[in-house]
Amino acid sequence: MSEKAILEVSSALRAGRLVILPATSGYVLACDANNYSAIEDINLIRENKEQYILSMIFPSIKAMDNEVTLPELEEEVHGLIESGQLTLILKRDASLRVVHGSRDELVTVNIPASENIKKLLRVSGPCVIASASKIGSGIPTSIADISNKIKSSSEYILDSGKIIGKVSSVIDFTSRTPTISRIGAVSKEKLQDYISMI
């Protein structure tokens, strides 16, 4: 991804526009995480009437830690997050600057595997994302799978061809004892090795 493209896409995001980005396992709609109106646009386009878990992506653990309260984690777990293999579900609290609905909502946080998307996020800041499809339709793995309605709503479409990556594993930290919500790129055994409380 060229420096010019990064500047153009990041400018569009900061202006409240939506973009389609390649994620680890498919294409997502993305917007500026601090733009409530753009977040609502994503929900409207996807026909999502109830947004319960806000999904956010960051370029690094440091950037993530600036926006949410992360649990105490081993360096090996940080490595899994940095490589896009692990997503965390957290309770929203006052450290999250995004104003979106009630404080009782949950937030998922992830770092994309793609170095190009990380470069973009370093310029644009964190983004809110959702599958580039109607709610409940699964994540599209190619641009051809995305509806014209969603494509026409986006200022930019970053096409990386067919995406065949494995979904991240997900750990829920919203209760006293963390639980595994999804097994993906990281096995259950590996998660249990790294996070003894599971």
Tell me the per-residue pLDDT of 127-164, one tens digit each, with 9 for 90 and over. Answer: 999 999 998 888 999 999 999 999 999 999 999 999 98
Residue 56, Ramachandran bin (φ over 0: left; ψ between -120 and 50: alpha; else beta): beta
E-strand spans in the chain? 19-22, 27-32, 53-57, 86-91, 106-110, 127-131, 156-157, 169-172, 179-182
Residue 56: CB atoms within 10 A of its CB come to 20
The DSSP call for residue 145 is G
Alpha carbon distance, N-terminus to C-terminus of the chain: 39
Helix (H, G, I), strand (E, B) or coil at 99: coil
Decide if pLDDT at 100 tops 80: no
Q: State which amino acid sits at residue 8.
A: E
Please, what is the Cα angle at 100 between 97 and 106, to 5 degrees? Answer: 85
**Are residues 45 and 38 in contact, defined by beta-carbon separation less than 8 angstroms?**
no
Whole-structure pTM value: 0.89
> What Å distances lie between residue 177 and 71, 96, 153, 170, 171, CA to CA?
11, 22, 40, 14, 10
Please, what is the Cα angle at 148 between 143 and 151, to 5 degrees? Answer: 60
Question: What pLDDT band is residue 103 in, cutting at 50, 70 and 90?
Answer: very low
Identify the bridge partners of residue 171 per DSSP, sorted by sequence position: 88, 180
Question: For the segment 13-60, what is each residue's pLDDT rounded down to a tens digit?
Answer: 999 999 999 998 899 999 999 898 999 999 899 988 765 678 999 999
Considering the domain delimited by 3-163, tell me its CATH architecture: Alpha-Beta Complex (3.90)
Residue 77, Ramachandran bin (φ over 0: left; ψ between -120 and 50: alpha; else beta): alpha
Question: What is the residue whose two structure tokens read 């599958």?
Answer: 131
Q: What are the residue ranges spanned by the domains of the chain?
A: 3-163
% the chain with pLDDT above 70: 91
